[in-house]
Every structure is written in C-alpha cells, then in structure tokens.
Amino acid sequence: KLMKVFITRRIPPEGMKILAAAEGCEVSQWDSDEPVPRSELLKGVEGAHGLLCLLSDKIDKEVLDAAGPNLKVISTMSVGFDHLVHSEIKKRGIRVGYTPDVLTDATAELTVALLLATSRRLPEGVEEVKSGGWSSWKPLWLCGYGLSGSTVGIVGLGRIGMAIAQRLLPFGVKRLLYSGRTAKTYAAEVNGEFVPLDTLASESDFIVVSCSLTPETQGMCDKAFFRKMKKTSIFINSSRGAVVNQEDLYEALSSGQIAAAGLDVTTPEPLPTNHPLLTLKNCVVLPHIGSATYSTRGIMSALAAQNLLGGLQGSDMPSELSL
Ligand code: GLV
Ligand code: GLV
C-alpha cells in the first residue's frame, strides 16, 4: 500500500533520489531552504507514515497528534536528537533514525577551525585588514594562544569528541583531559585522562564542548564553571547552545574571567544580530555549520532517506536511535 512521507525542507539530491526510486512512497515536501512554518508542518504530517525532519524542527506531542496513528518512523537528518520529544515518540512506538558517524570528520574539522580562529583571533585580524587598522607588523598586536604544550579538555568524549582529540594532538597538546558520565576505554588512544568537570574547567587551556544536549547537560557551562576556568583559557562549543548559560558566558567574556569563546551553536538559532555576545571581540560565533561540507550533507541526506525507508518497511535502519 501507499506510504506517505513528509520532508520538512529542501535537502541534497542524494536522499531525494533514494526516495524517488522507492516503490509505494508518496513524497510531499516543504520545498524551500527556509524552515517550514509550524502550521505547514502540522498540515504536512497529517496522515504521514514517515517524517524526514531537521534539527530545527521541534517534534513534540502536537506534531505527533497532527500526524496521527499512521506514523511509523521519524528520520532526522542530524546526529543530534534533542529536538525530538522522546517520551511522546516512545509512547507511540515510533522508530527514530539519525545520522551519526557520517558527519564526525566534518564536524571535528570545523571545531578545530573554530578553535584556531578564536585562539589566533582570525576574525579580528581580517576585520583590521579590511578597515585599515593594519598599520605595521607590531610585536604586541593581535597575539593569542597556541596549542603547543597546552592542556585540552573535551567535555563529552564521544565519536566527535574523539575525532577532535585526534586532530588536536598533532599540534603538540601536552595533556588531554575529558569529562562525561563514564570513563571510556578508547580514551587510551588519545592518552585521555578522565577527570571531574571541575578539574577539566580549572586545568584546561582549551575547553571543547562536544556532548549531547540532555537534561543533565543543559546549562552545564554556567557561572560556576566559567569561574573555575583560567583567565587565559578558551572555550569552544560545537554541540548544542543550550549546554551553555549564555548570560554567564557573556559575563565571563566581558569581565575578562576567560580569554575567548568560539561558538558554532547558540540559543536561539539564529542568534539575533543585536545579541550582546556579538558585541564582543573575544567571541567568535558561527551559524551552526559543523557538518557543512558538500559531501557530508549529501551523505547525511542519503542516510536519512535509507533510515526512513527501513522504518517504513519495518526492516533494519542503517542508523536507528534507541530512545
Ligand atoms: C548537527 O548539529 C547535527 O546534530 O547533525
Ligand atoms: C614573522 O613573520 C616573523 O618573521 O617573525
């Protein structure tokens, strides 16, 4: 019988081709680069058997009720799943697909780029060149902090955290600390030392947040956390904005409590252009582009499509999330 699928955005062609080739699949889509308005989402999911969504779509009770009892599978084109209301999905026995692994390298690369851009003050330098502020080579101008001999602390040593650690070590990092719920055996590959979050905060020169957003990690980087950091330390977040208390981060950056921050994720997204964080020279903000390479986004869309089909057919999904 015919299976109805709703896709909440224009996605790369790799995934669309897979769905077009699938028999018995009737696809409708919010065919735009901009997010689907809530009312259109609620209309679009009506009677759907499958939903292919993005991290910017909140999938909660209202959406699931609008979809109705046909809905068998939600496939998100993301590794993060904090936008899905787990309890409601589980209650209805709906399967969930996501896209881990395929974006690990791209996200780790971007995180390293953001770390270096922040620590070596690249956006400030570019701005000085354009504005005529570059008057001469100056011994004390635009100095930052280097990785060589440093201590790096990774909050959440999962797939992406490990890939970041592996990329940073060749810069001459001396110690690699990590925190999380449990110690990981694979941490030995990067000589990672499992430490409490407090120790990580106080001993690291570079802190990289790479954990999932959960009730436990929400607001975890707060005033108390930033107070433990050294004045010369750099804070990087490429996971989810809500792991950070942004008011506390603003305070820490503007008072000189910490040296600088680089954020690929914020709350909200997009961050309003008049947001206080954007007035700070020592804060580099990117528009959530961790996985944004051409090839990675293509592979993510293909995997999301395969997950969706697996769920519709009641067969294996290449990457199923157990809630
Ligand atoms: C990106 O943040 C993702 O969850 O895929
Ligand atoms: C830098 O360019 C130097 O020559 O020291």
Domain segments of the chain as ranges: 3-102+294-321, 104-285
Distance between Cα 137 and ligand 2 center (Å): 9
Residue having the nearest C-alpha atom to atom 4 of ligand 1: 80
CA-CA distance, 56 to 278, in Å (whole number)? Answer: 22
pLDDT of 323 reads 85
Strand, coil or helix: 4: strand
CB 72 within 8 A of CB 95: yes
Distance between Cα 294 and ligand 1 center (Å): 15
Q: Residue 139: nearest ligand to its CA?
A: 2
Q: Residue 137: nearest ligand to its CA?
A: 2
Beta strands of 245-301 (E only): which ranges? 260-263, 283-285
Q: Which residue of 55, 82, 159 sits with most ligand 1 atoms within 8 Å of its CB, as the best mutation to test the pocket?
A: 55
Query: Fold match between 3-102+294-321 and 104-285?
Result: yes
CB 280 within 8 A of CB 257: no
Distance between Cα 140 and ligand 2 center (Å): 13
Got the DSSP string for 94-159?
-EEE---STTHHHHHHHHHHHHHHHHTTHHHHHHHHHHT---S--TTSS----STT-EEEEE--SH
Closest ligand 1 atom, residue 288 Cα? 2
- C-alpha dist (Å) from residue 152 to 168, 217, 288, 303: 8, 19, 22, 33
The interaxial angle of helices 122-131 and 104-119, nearest 10 deg, is: 60
Q: Residue 56: nearest ligand to its CA?
A: 1
Got the DSSP string for 177-236?
EEESSS--GGGGGGTEEE--HHHHHHH-SEEEE-----TTTTT-B-HHHHHHS-TT-EEE
CATH of domain 3-102+294-321: 3.40.50.720
pLDDT of 147 reads 98
CA nearest neighbour of 110 among 159, 160, 145, 59: 160
Distance between Cα 261 and ligand 1 center (Å): 20
Complex ipTM: 0.76
Name the phi and psi angles at 57, rounded to 5: -100, 120
CB 190 within 8 A of CB 214: no
Distance between Cα 142 and ligand 2 center (Å): 14
Quick check: CB of 79 below 6 Å from ligand 1? Answer: yes
Distance between Cα 27 and ligand 1 center (Å): 24
Q: Which residue of 54, 107, 114 sits with most ligand 1 atoms within 8 Å of its CB, as the best mutation to test the pocket?
A: 107
The pLDDT averaged over each successive group of 10 residues in the chain (323 residues) is 95 98 96 98 98 98 98 98 97 98 98 99 98 98 98 98 98 98 98 98 98 97 98 98 98 98 98 98 98 98 98 97 92
Residue having the nearest C-alpha atom to atom 1 of ligand 1: 78
Q: Residues 6 or more apart from 17 whose CB is under 8 A from it?
A: none
Closest ligand 1 atom, residue 265 Cα? 2
Name the phi and psi angles at 155, rounded to 5: -90, 100
Q: Is 83 annotated in the active site?
A: no
CA-CA distance, 120 to 114, in Å (whole number)? Answer: 10
| pTM more than 0.95 | yes
Quick check: CB of 55 below 6 Å from ligand 1? Answer: yes
pLDDT of 1 reads 77
Q: Residue 212: nearest ligand to its CA?
A: 1
> What architecture is the 104-285 domain classified under in CATH?
3-Layer(aba) Sandwich (3.40)
Neighbours of 211 (CB within 10 A): 22
Quick check: CB of 78 below 6 Å from ligand 1? Answer: yes
